[in-house]
Chains A and B, each alone.
Chain A
Amino acid sequence: MSGADNVVWLGTPAFPEAARAALADTRLRANLRRATGTIRDRRLAVAAELEDWEELRETAATIKRRTLRHLDHHLLRLEKAVTAAGGVVHWASDAVDANRIVTALVKATGGGDIENHEVVKVKSMATQEIGLNEALADAGIRAYETDLAELIVQLGGDRPSHILVPAIHRGRSEIREIFRREMGEWGRPAPEDLTDDPRDLAEAARLHLREKFLRAKVAVSGANFAAADTGTVAVVESEGNGRMCLTLPETLITVMGIEKVLPSFADLDVFLQLLPRSSTGERMNPYTSLWTGVTEGDGPRNFHLVLLDNGRTATLADEVGRQALACIRCSACLNVCPVYERTGGHAYGSVYPGPIGAVLTPQLVGVENAASLPFASTLCGACYDACPVKINIPEVLVHLRAEAVEAKRRDRLLPTSEGLAMKAAGAVLGSPRRLAAVQRLAAVGARLVARDGRIGALPGPFARWSGTRDTPVPTRESLRAWWRRTRPPRSEDSSTTAQGEERR
């Protein structure tokens, strides 16, 4: 499908290999450990403040799931309301479509003045996902990211590694170097005496971007929510760059995944409580902007809403997997994930990293195009507990693992070595007699390689295990053998027959 090129970064190795490189990066590890630890504690503290937190989660989950079950209905209501309020609604089935629509809209506002072919952007996952900046660049339009972290990523020729804090993998000194090196290429250069104090760096970004805000004719944003009854769109942010983009330009183009629609404005009460607390660990983020179409004398004169599919309907078709579409992009699951905390976002090779990425990416692009992601988890369940909309990520992960295995089975004439091993294991584990036989063999075989009751090195794929761990030796007497020796079956109880026939 098109769009896959942008959701998944082509050329990224499978997760285990990409993770290996990330694990060796000591600076990245330190940045991640500090950042995720900080934000975890904050989230727990503010979630605990609301005694009805669990009820809010349950309500949000219900609203999201039910909305998805009638998505067409709600999108049509949204379209009607936005149009009535003076906005224009567009529908894009994939990335190419969406990019074409946005590019044409930007060009139409430029009035032929080539100098003005630039847009300012609010941080948006949807536009990342469709590769909008690249598509605009191909059309001769410069897109300026205005969120501080997105700016750091853009100036550094880098990729985001976190949903909320895309430059989480960068430390302050790296950021200072990027600003000093690159800002002049894009506009106002960084001050000569720039330090690596975050306050200083934020100030440099403010000065660099202010001129761009003041002259911008077109802004592109994403959307956190859109209410179908009123046509109100919401953007939740912290820095004010969102407000700048949503207020100053004449034209505002919002690209929104179709799953972001809510039935009613009233539904926002739940989500505006859950999102900031789950996301940044704040009671409320500094700025939330809500707008309905266009307002005479205040803000943009033209408002375009682009409704984006790009794999979402394929995800919707999977009754187990569709819950991933309830995601409100808070990133709580990333911050609690023990895997993400150690590998960072780039290892996932996708715009959507972390646990939610591991279930969303394979569904958006097809599981065969991201086959290692559903396995990039220990299924520890921390993400499910943290998710404000109760997406059962472990459930979707194992569901997608089955799909990945089935996809492999379909594509190959011969089974994989793993498939053969699983088949063999299944045969043993399906029969108490075979299991007992293997246990006896293992006890004998293991004694040949063990030293001091521990096995140091194992063959084949198990070498990855035994490289760092001793393995205990299977015992001479399995429990079933011990039980038979010490507790002979009573004649009337056939439950202890080795064949394991049904007890009557």
Chain B
Amino acid sequence: MRIALFITCFNDTMFPRTGRAVTELLERLGHTVEFPQGQTCCGQMHFNTGYRPETLPMVRRFAEVFAGYDAVVAPSGSCAGMVRDHHRVVAAQYGDAALAEAVQQVVPTVYELSELLVDVLGVTDVGAHFPHRVTYHPTCHSLRMLRVGDRPLRLLRAVKGIDLVELPDAESCCGFGGTFALKNADVSNAMLADKMRHVQDTGAEILSAGDNSCLTHIGGGLSRLRTGVGTMHLAEILASTEGDVR
């Protein structure tokens, strides 16, 4: 099937390796991946911070750029959630009938990576090999906006050589929350501290998640404290065949 990669602005700039991993993984599974160069951002930061009119051009661009694919995959629960839950809202509030229709067309084709793999492509064993101790943090938007459930864990469990350890209090928010981390830095830090403690309690080498934004927040804290725990996006583990920690 024709799959378009929506890399998200954050991954594009900071974590292109995640995008390369998604591409390698899907191609390994025999699919064609395209990267529409017109893509930019889903508008989540603006929308969630209250700058709704500013979101309109991004919603419009998304609907145009990603029209007509069998599936659009995003390696981000929160960006996929933004498209799925809020693009209609922006289109209805500020757009016109044509935009509303375009959004209506594109939204059902948008999947977060684990949804695409498990529900659309019907695979849980993607042929990955990753002989390391890993713990997985289910990000809030993947859990409670998209309802991905245990799909990411099913994918990880099928990875050859992996030692997957359960993260205590896993479903608690890590405290990132986008601009929350700046506006409410102290509360964000308090939440981060607890999440890091739980990660360290597992003895994992690698913390994985489906959102690099949350991983940047948790990983940034783990790095500052020199814990020696690394972070990797789910896609990077699933793309791994050599067993390398990147």
Contacts and interface: CB of A to CB of B under 8 A. Distances in A.
Direct A–B contact in the complex, CB atoms closer than 8 angstroms: yes
B187 A342 contact: yes
A498 interface: yes
B184 A479 contact: no
Contacts of B43: 429
Main secondary structure of the interface of B (DSSP, over half): helix
Nearest to A443: B13
A382 B223 contact: no
Contacts of B57: 426, 430
B140 A379 contact: yes
Contacts of B182: 461-462, 464-465
Nearest to B48: A398
Contact of B19 (A23, A439, A474, A479): A479
Interface in B45-96: 45-52, 54, 57-58, 61, 64-65, 67-68, 86
A338 B175 contact: yes
Interface string A346-362: 00000000000000000
Nearest to A337: B173
Interface stretch (B105-113, B114-122, B188-196, B198-206): B188-196
B165 interface: no
A472 B213 CA distance: 11
B190 to A, nearest CB: 5
Contacts of A498: 37
Given A19-B184, A23-B187, A465-B185, A501 B38 contact: yes
Interface stretch (A46-54, A143-151, A482-490): A482-490
Contacts of A273: none
Contacts of B175: 338, 378
B145 interface: yes
A482 B185 CA distance: 34
Interface string B30-51: 0000111111110101111111
Given A402-B52, A426-B57, A479-B7, A378 B16 contact: no
Interface string A391-432: 000000010011111100000000000110011011001111
User: What's the interface size class on A, roughly?
Assistant: 35 or more
Contact of B54 (A381, A422, A464): A422
A38 interface: no
A338 B191 contact: yes
A110 B35 CA distance: 79
B176 A472 contact: no
Contact of B39 (A381, A385, A432, A470): A432
A442 interface: yes
A502 interface: yes
A431 B58 CA distance: 9
B221 interface: yes
Contacts of B28: none
B37 A495 contact: yes
Nearest to A453: B223
B13 A496 contact: no
B66 to A, nearest CB: 9
A19 B35 CA distance: 43
A15 B180 CA distance: 12
Contact of B64 (A15, A478, A480, A502): A502
A384 B144 contact: yes
B224 A16 contact: no
A384 B43 CA distance: 23
Interface in B164-222: 171-173, 175-192, 216-217, 219-221
B244 interface: no
Given A430-B40, A432-B37, A19 B186 contact: yes
Contacts of A16: 183-187
A377 B141 CA distance: 13
A408 to B, nearest CB: 9
B217 A496 contact: no
B38 A380 contact: no
B20 interface: yes
B150 interface: no
Contacts of A461: 182
B29 interface: no
B51 A405 contact: yes
A478 B183 contact: no
B14 interface: yes
B12 interface: yes
Contacts of B7: 479-480
Interface string B133-147: 000000011011100
B181 A401 contact: no
Contacts of B162: none
Given A382-B144, A422-B54, A478-B16, A500 B49 contact: no
Contacts of A439: 12-13
Contacts of B104: none
Interface string A454-473: 10000001101101111110
B11 interface: yes
A478 B49 contact: no
Contacts of A342: 187, 190-191
B158 interface: no
B41 A380 contact: no
Nearest to A372: B183
Given A338-B191, A378-B177, A380-B177, A422 B51 contact: yes
B215 to A, nearest CB: 10
B38 A497 contact: yes
Contacts of B49: 401, 405, 418, 422
Contacts of B185: 16, 464-465, 467
A487 B180 contact: no
B9 interface: yes
Nearest to A477: B16
Nearest to B54: A426
Contact of B221 (A405, A419, A469, A487): A469
Contacts of A493: 34
B144 A480 contact: no
A384 B65 CA distance: 32
Given A489-B37, A495-B36, 9 more contacts: A377-B177, A380-B144, A398-B47, A429-B43, A465-B220, A469-B221, A479-B35, A484-B37, A502-B64
Interface of B: 7, 9, 11-17, 19-20, 34-41, 43, 45-52, 54, 57-58, 61, 64-65, 67-68, 86, 140-141, 143-145, 171-173, 175-192, 216-217, 219-221, 223-224
28 contacts: A375-B183, A377-B177, A377-B180, A378-B177, A380-B140, A380-B173, A382-B144, A401-B49, A405-B50, A426-B54, A429-B9, A429-B43, A429-B46, A430-B40, A430-B41, A435-B40, A435-B41, A439-B12, A462-B182, A469-B217, A470-B220, A472-B220, A475-B16, A479-B12, A499-B38, A500-B36, A502-B65, A503-B36
Q: What 4 pairs between A and B have smallest CB-CB spacing?
A: A500-B38, A378-B177, A469-B220, A381-B144
